[in-house]
Amino acid sequence: MIQGIAHADFILKHESMKSLRENPASDWVCCPSNEAYYKVQFALYEEAIRATPHGKYLHVGGDEVDHLGSCPVCKPQQKSALQHQLKWLKRVSDFAHAHGRIPIFWDDMVFKHLGLYDVILDQEKPEKMDSIWKTKEPELKKHIGSFPKNVVYMRWQYGNANLKGNKMALKWYNDNGLSNA
């Protein structure tokens, strides 16, 4: 796995890389609209691909992303955080496939951007989970055409995989023809 878009403090802490930040005050997230960011990101992916010549997958990262759409480059686009995340995912997925790899993506932000984070991680009261999902799912489905089909959507769940919220997320992937693990 090579961290993508977030967990980027090892890059963004450097003065020469500050222009790649989504939030100028934070070294955590890269701007998904900055072409210079992709040059750095793709160089990291290429290094990992060279180091694993017989590999089948490339884990592109994508988890724990905050503030997407807030920088001076992204804000005028008037896109939601989810739209920025999916644009990034398409771009890095296309890169992985062009290099003979199947991309794997941490899926937590897809749900968090739409207010389903507590549901999929079973942090919501069980009696509320169905109604929250029912309320938020239409917004999720509205974006289904932007979800790359050639990606393994890795469930970001470190606890019991048999809990209701995790099963709801897995069912949504299956119902929408998306691969998950």
Per the structure, the count of domains in the chain is: 1
Answer whether 69's CB lies under 8 Å from 84's CB. Answer: yes
Answer whether 156's CB lies under 8 Å from 107's CB. Answer: yes
Give the number of residues written for the chain.
Answer: 181
Q: Which residue spans within 56-174 are E strands per DSSP?
A: 57-61, 102-106, 152-154
pLDDT of residue 181: 60
Tokens of 51: 């180091």
Q: Provide block-wise average pLDDT over 10 residues at a time, the chain (181 residues).
A: 93 96 95 97 97 97 92 94 96 98 95 94 92 95 93 86 92 89 60
pLDDT of residue 144: 94
Is residue 2, in this structure, part of any structural domain at all? Answer: no
pLDDT of residue 90: 97
pLDDT of residue 48: 97
Is residue 157, in this structure, part of any structural domain at all? Answer: yes
Cα–Cα distance between 30 and 123 in angstroms, integer? 28
pLDDT of residue 154: 93
Is residue 170, in this structure, part of any structural domain at all? Answer: yes
- The position carrying tokens 């606890």 is 159
Measure Cα distances from 166 to 114, 136, 141, 153, 157 in Å. Answer: 16, 16, 18, 13, 7
Is residue 63, in this structure, part of any structural domain at all? Answer: yes
Going by C-alpha positions, the residue among 87, 94, 104 that lies closest to residue 156 is: 104
pLDDT of residue 159: 80
Is residue 1, in this structure, part of any structural domain at all? Answer: no
pLDDT of residue 21: 96
pLDDT of residue 80: 95
Domain residues for 35? 9-180
- The position carrying tokens 């009261």 is 125
pLDDT of residue 51: 97
Tokens of 155: 């469930």
Measure Cα distances from 127 to 4, 40, 108, 162 in Å. Answer: 35, 45, 22, 17
Is residue 175, in this structure, part of any structural domain at all? Answer: yes
